[in-house]
Structure 1
Amino acid sequence: MAGLSPDLQTPCLVVDEAKMAANIDRMARRIAGLGVGFRPHLKTAKSVEIARRMLPDMGGPATVSTLREAEVFAAAGVRDILYAVGITPAKLGRVQALRARGCDLAVILDSAGQAQAVAAASAGAGPIPVLIEIDCDGKRAGLAPDAAEIIEIGHILHEGGADLRGVMTHAGGSYDVSGADAHAAFAERERRAVVTAADRLRAAGLPCPVVSVGSTPTALAARDLAGVTEVRAGVYVFFDLVMAGIGACAVDDIALSVATTVIGHRPDRGWILVDAGWMALSRDRGTAGQAVDQGYGLVLTADGRVIPDLIVTGANQEHGILALRPGAAATPPELPVGTLLRILPNHACATAAQFDAYHVIPADIGAAPAIWPRFGGW
């Protein structure tokens, strides 16, 4: 297996450095063409080595989804971080501790209660920067762009000693549609929602310097981001089968896989057994509702070639079951015990979360195999 150790212990997480670099470059060029700032989301990678490749300036800006991510990346030198999950009062001490160590960490919220807690914490230990979360598609948290609460929260923060930085949204609904036109429409929904909210804050005499949007599909498809100051995206660094299924990338763009080994056969059922079950692949079945159901993952040869119609049809804790997808006319491949394979994941974030390191296929063919640490936790 070119680029990886021949005595690789499976299951393990594999990243193709050349594909990852191409994905990073594609997004950077796209955002530059839109004329806005970029705040890469580091939650998918959870790796300092990969963050160095995602961030042109290791100081930031960056986005995270856990305070553990904020702490690790701040220790590595990232100084401008948005914690993009609604804040709770119990976490404000950790936020202030990070800020005291020189990290400009901002939080998000969507309720008066959260705003009051942040204002109280700000009064005690210095202003905490805040973005108000806006709901652009009904998929998750946030306030409607015309909600009266936006102005109420703005006053609580601004007059209570916090730092009202602006507004943000995430078009999670873009994962449910396919094609560039549909994703461009979602990008416009994102843009319109936060620009509307920002205009209302400013009309009320409140500051709103930051107008933040982001998801990988909308970042790649947006056509006009007038009024937006920055874009956030994360899974683009690796892509996955869900992203391929909605047309945000091609299968060949996916840079992440799980290496696994054939451990047995059930010829009576047409099964090939491997040592990667749901503990390695995750239980994510994100392609189940798409035009092509990839089971728990699409199977590749060790050197990265797709094996036609072979997918992970079942997953126990440590056993994966490979079989031809329903209706396939192909013949099951001959894969003896000990054969090394790779599996492309449905959801890169969920699969990567099962591991503590990346085994790197170097972009430089002559380079030695590498292992990059990965962390978890909250």
Structure 2
Amino acid sequence: MHFTPTNIEDLPTPCCLIDKAKMQRNIARLSAHIGNLQCTLRPHVKTHKSIEVTKAIIDAGNVKGITVSTLKEADYFFKHGMNDILYAVGITPNKIAHVAQLIQQGCDLTIVIDNEDMLSLVLDKMAEHNCVFKVIIELDTDGHRSGVNPHSHALLSIAKHINNSAHAKFEGVMTHAGESYACFTEKAKQDMAAQERDLTLHAVKRLFEVGIHCNTVSIGSTPTAFAVDQLDGITEVRAGVYVFFDLVMAGLGVCDIDDIAMSVLGTVIGHQKDKGWVITDAGWMAMSRDRGTADHPQDYGYGLVSPSGSHETRYIMSDANQEHGIITEVSNASPESHSEKHIGSSSKSSAENNDSIFTQFPAAKAVEILPNHACATAAQYDHYYVVENGVAIDKWLSIGGW
């Protein structure tokens, strides 16, 4: 599809922008790090759901297959030539027919399980289809969400149950260190990365001792992927948000603000001068409802505004309605998380307010806003504008839904 280069000020708003150079730099950074540790990446494409971004990741090297979070993603990426796919959400019986269809079409698709009850149910459904399903067991290595305890008897029981089935093949284990999103120091991230790796390898050892081999030993989160220093015994690392980064990752020290490759472009539609508010046409439908920085030392509300492209920490989207975003000075921000108050609102009168915010953001001004959670923001859009030097040079499609 031909795209005519367009100055970003002339794009329809709200829209989602990708800084191509920053994205490529972010991709190269993790590819090099994991490559230096003699391991491979299985990137999580749920962040962007875009074939163009995925191709950029593959071009950077050290990639073995992809990770998806929906079967719609699996369909889309398989159609576009990606064959080795891990569907990294626990499987349910009502999805087995869809999985079977992909396998029968030639997709090398692996599914995930973490409990005996669900395994019994899905094995019954598998028997209805003429194919063998590759299954890995999800491990809980940090108490964050789902998964089997690596020390438990259930781990061995589930693996044996899979191996004893004529319809399933045990492939290995995976885990996700979601608690790394609460690790604000480098040591905390390093410790979490070591815990994620070591508990996974402990599970592999226990399975080996009862004669069960793991072809796949998969770990990963963006914070631990950058923090890990040794990957012996690990076959692949999964991460997703690193391609764009976001304010949560910057708050954890995984990246700098200037590394964030995604922004939402909005337009100033009005002012509430007595309140110190600038109103934009980018609300929570454009940014998402994610308030991932609410518990961080610096709370960015619904996003950090970049008035001049420098991403200075001065203005934030302190509150948002469905199609309206409220921009205020960060100096007025409240530390309270999940407050009904506008995070950046001021109690000063209009006479006391500094009018610089209205000078910075006159009517019809284009405003770039960095997101808290790139995955959630990206999911609001079916395309991205790819930007170089303030000019949109291409339009990349993405998919959504399940």
Query: TM-score, normalized by length of structure 1?
Result: 0.94
Q: Which residue of 1 aligns with 2:110?
A: 106
The 1:347/1:366 distance shift into structure 2, 3 A limit, reads closer
The 1:326/1:368 distance shift into structure 2, 3 A limit, reads closer
Q: Is the 8 A contact 2:279 2:326 kept in 1?
A: yes
In the alignment, the residues of structure 2 paired with residue 59 and residue 175 of structure 1 have an alpha-carbon distance, to the nearest angstrom, of 24
Deviation for aligned residue 1:122: 4.3
Q: How does 1:1-378 map to 2 (within 5 A)?
A: 4-56=7-59, 60-123=64-127, 124-161=129-166, 162-301=168-307, 304-327=309-332, 331-334=356-359, 335-362=361-388, 369-378=393-402
Q: Is the 8 A contact 2:291 2:302 kept in 1?
A: yes
In the alignment, the residues of structure 2 paired with residue 271 and residue 338 of structure 1 have an alpha-carbon distance, to the nearest angstrom, of 15
Q: Which residue identity is paired with 1:53?
A: A
Deviation for aligned residue 1:376: 0.1
In the alignment, the residues of structure 2 paired with residue 368 and residue 321 of structure 1 have an alpha-carbon distance, to the nearest angstrom, of 26
Q: Which blocks of at least 5 consecutive residues in structure 1 are unaligned?
A: none
Equivalent pairs counted in the alignment come to 374
In the alignment, the residues of structure 1 paired with residue 393 and residue 216 of structure 2 have an alpha-carbon distance, to the nearest angstrom, of 41
Q: Which residue identity is paired with 1:130?
A: V
Deviation for aligned residue 1:118: 4.0
In the alignment, the residues of structure 1 paired with residue 320 and residue 29 of structure 2 have an alpha-carbon distance, to the nearest angstrom, of 34
In the alignment, the residues of structure 1 paired with residue 123 and residue 205 of structure 2 have an alpha-carbon distance, to the nearest angstrom, of 23
Q: Is the 8 A contact 2:313 2:330 kept in 1?
A: no
In the alignment, the residues of structure 2 paired with residue 215 and residue 318 of structure 1 have an alpha-carbon distance, to the nearest angstrom, of 32
The 1:141/1:356 distance shift into structure 2, 3 A limit, reads same
Q: Deviation digits for residues 331-362 of structure 1, max 9, x if unmatched?
A: 53512100001000000011111111101103
Q: Is the 8 A contact 1:314 1:321 kept in 2?
A: yes
In the alignment, the residues of structure 1 paired with residue 121 and residue 21 of structure 2 have an alpha-carbon distance, to the nearest angstrom, of 45
Q: Which blocks of at least 5 consecutive residues in structure 2 are unaligned?
A: 334-352
Q: Which runs of 4+ in 1 moved over 6 A?
A: none
Q: Is the 8 A contact 1:118 1:128 kept in 2?
A: no
Alignment partner of 1:306: what SS?
coil
Q: Which residue identity is paired with 2:372?
A: N
Q: Is the 8 A contact 1:40 1:55 kept in 2?
A: no
Query: TM-score, normalized by length of structure 2?
Result: 0.89
In the alignment, the residues of structure 2 paired with residue 190 and residue 307 of structure 1 have an alpha-carbon distance, to the nearest angstrom, of 35
Deviation for aligned residue 1:125: 1.8
Deviation for aligned residue 1:117: 3.5
Identity in percent:
47
The 1:4/1:52 distance shift into structure 2, 3 A limit, reads farther
Deviation for aligned residue 1:3: 6.2
Q: Is the 8 A contact 2:35 2:62 kept in 1?
A: no
